[in-house]
Amino acid sequence: TLSLVAACSLVSAAPDHDQLRPWPATLPQGLLDLRIVDQLRFGPNVTARFSTDYGRLTEATPAAVLYPPSAADIAALVRLSFSSPRPFAIAARGHGHSVRGQALAPCGVVVDMASLGGAHGRVNVRVGDDGAYYYVDAGGEQLWIDVLRESLNHGVAPRSWTDYLYLTVGGTLSNAGIGGQAFRHGPQISNVYELDVITGKGDMITCSPGTNSDLFYGVLGGLGQLGIITRARIAVEPAPERVRWVRLIYTDLGSLTRDQELLLSITEKGFDYIEGELLTEKGIDNSSFFSCKDSAKINALAAEFRVIYFLEGALYYKLNAASQVDERLESLLKKLKFVPGFAFTKDVSYVRFLNRVHEDEIKLRPLGLWDVPHPWLNVFVPKSSIRDFEIRVIQAILTADSSSASAGTFLITPMNKTKWDDQMSVATPDEEVFYAVGLLRSATEDDWKRLDRQNEEIISTCEHARIELKQYLPYYRSQEEWKRHFGRKWERFAELKSKYDPKALLSPGQRIFTSLT
């Protein structure tokens, strides 16, 4: 099933390192003289886990895996590769939740970032120096769920989240980190004060908007191309305790997006979180949000209209302000045009709300439905093209083919461009409002290629229709496509690459400056 397989040849090891025999031919013998050689592991039993990812669409075997107890050890590895006449590729691996081999390092070294955390993790919550703001200092390898737990011990929490929390700080900050809070606080990359980064030359640099700012902005959304994030200082706010969670049903996309855009403009007492989802006529199954009775009612509507949508909103509150949340919700619902009688609410703890996708994971894993191929496509669609996207993609491609809409989640989340910093590397549409559309499909070994071809059809259809899509978690095959993706940011990005990773050692799996084949 795998689109790419790289094999690395082996040669004999130096005599005093019998335990490292056979030594991978692609790694310089100079590594044997470094202290970190003891942190390297070889062989198929070790490398198998680091040869593919959540997507299960791509495979490439590294020559070795580094398990570094400290950031200095990663820097030593990078310096050796940088100074070697035969440099080797290095990929930081967060939690391996990419879907296209972005954290692979064919014939090079994968760095198991989790090793940095040690037994106790590396999340320190402190009040900022001037006492006026809070932040958490988190290791780049930390999972967001652990950042959440530790910051809650101090009564605070980060403001902007991904839907799923078993992702690493370094991994999401290399992309953007988007979710239902982004319309208000921006993506996770807009909520960072400072970073520690190891560049492609092996330099350890602290950067912020005021110091080494080119590296700071470049690394955020920089797809791991400029450096390895070993620490991030992240903005936090006093944590809410409870969440009033609501889903409102719509029978057409236009009404959903009109209401989402209206909600974007409400800054006082508006929702703290807004997303949207498309439901096909297959309806809801296995939902922990809706009761059986409500699911049946919604499924009947979905069968009638073939495609329906729901707007998902959340209001955060502290227990001592519980009485006001009903009022807040009522006043918001009055402004919205969902199908009458189709508003569903739930009240849950803040942690349960943020960690909701993990509940699905726990259900899907034992059914063998989690570790399957994931031909995902994530795109940013400008507001001006969302109607066109509905006609050409949702109606003409996705729902026209009833089998294609099988297992999966289809998200439509509004984004507010003013909350994104244009100096950062991530590419977004040039419009004030755009939608993050996630076609998050699971597949079998037999049908992922078909879904993948359908993804390509979606992209080429949009190209022909001049819908200016930007891929999120992008995947391209040629540098020409990458240039188009970055647009006016390309030149700057390439300049930063030649400054901070001139030998293109880092994250080769993104295939921007390197080819895996």
**Contact residues for ligand FAD (CB under 6 A)?**
53-54, 91-98, 102-103, 113, 140, 162-164, 167-168, 170-172, 174-179, 223-224, 228-229, 473, 507, 509-510
Nearer to ligand FAD, 212 or 510 (CB): 510
**Catalytic status, residue 464:** no
Q: How far is the CB of 291 from ligand FAD (least distance, A)?
A: 25
Nearer to ligand FAD, 26 or 174 (CB): 174
The three-state DSSP-derived secondary structure of 152-202 is: HCCCEEECCCCCCCCCEHHHHHCCCCCCCCHHHHCCHHHHEEEEEEEECCC
Q: How far is the CB of 82 from ligand FAD (least distance, A)?
A: 16
Q: How far is the CB of 71 from ligand FAD (least distance, A)?
A: 10
Specify the long-range contacts of residues 386-389, CB closer than 8 Å, at least 24 apart: 386/253, 386/257, 386/435, 387/253, 387/254, 388/465, 388/467, 389/437, 389/462, 389/467
CA quadruple 157, 348, 472, 74: dihedral sign: positive
Annotated catalytic residue, options 95, 97, 185, 374: 97
Annotated catalytic residue, options 59, 141, 163, 390: 163
Q: How many helices (H) and strands (E) does the chain have?
A: 15, 20
* Cβ atoms 418, 443 nearer than 8 A: no
**Catalytic status, residue 163:** yes
Nearer to ligand FAD, 97 or 489 (CB): 97
Nearer to ligand FAD, 231 or 302 (CB): 231
**Catalytic status, residue 97:** yes
224: left (phi over 0), alpha (psi -120 to 50) or beta: left
* Cβ atoms 30, 84 nearer than 8 A: yes
- Name the residue number minimizing CB distance to ligand FAD: 170
In angstroms, the CA 92 to CA 173 distance is 13
In angstroms, the CA 62 to CA 57 distance is 16
Q: How far is the CB of 1 from ligand FAD (least distance, A)?
A: 18
Q: How far is the CB of 322 from ligand FAD (least distance, A)?
A: 28
Cβ neighbours for 44, distance < 8 A, ≥ 6 positions apart = 61
In angstroms, the CA 409 to CA 378 distance is 11
* Cβ atoms 311, 413 nearer than 8 A: no
* Cβ atoms 500, 200 nearer than 8 A: yes
Q: How far is the CB of 398 from ligand FAD (least distance, A)?
A: 20
* Cβ atoms 339, 252 nearer than 8 A: no
Nearer to ligand FAD, 186 or 338 (CB): 186
Nearer to ligand FAD, 191 or 507 (CB): 507
With b for 16 or more beta-carbon neighbours within 10 A and e for fewer, the 451-473 pattern comes to bbebbeebbebbeeeebbbbbbb
Q: What pairs with residue 416 in β-bridges? A: 433
In angstroms, the CA 454 to CA 460 distance is 10
With b for 16 or more beta-carbon neighbours within 10 A and e for fewer, the 145-164 pattern comes to bbbbbbbbebebbbbbbbbb
Nearer to ligand FAD, 88 or 338 (CB): 88
Q: How far is the CB of 433 from ligand FAD (least distance, A)?
A: 18
Nearer to ligand FAD, 171 or 414 (CB): 171
* Cβ atoms 168, 147 nearer than 8 A: no
Q: How far is the CB of 221 from ligand FAD (least distance, A)?
A: 10
Active-site amino acid positions: 97, 163, 275
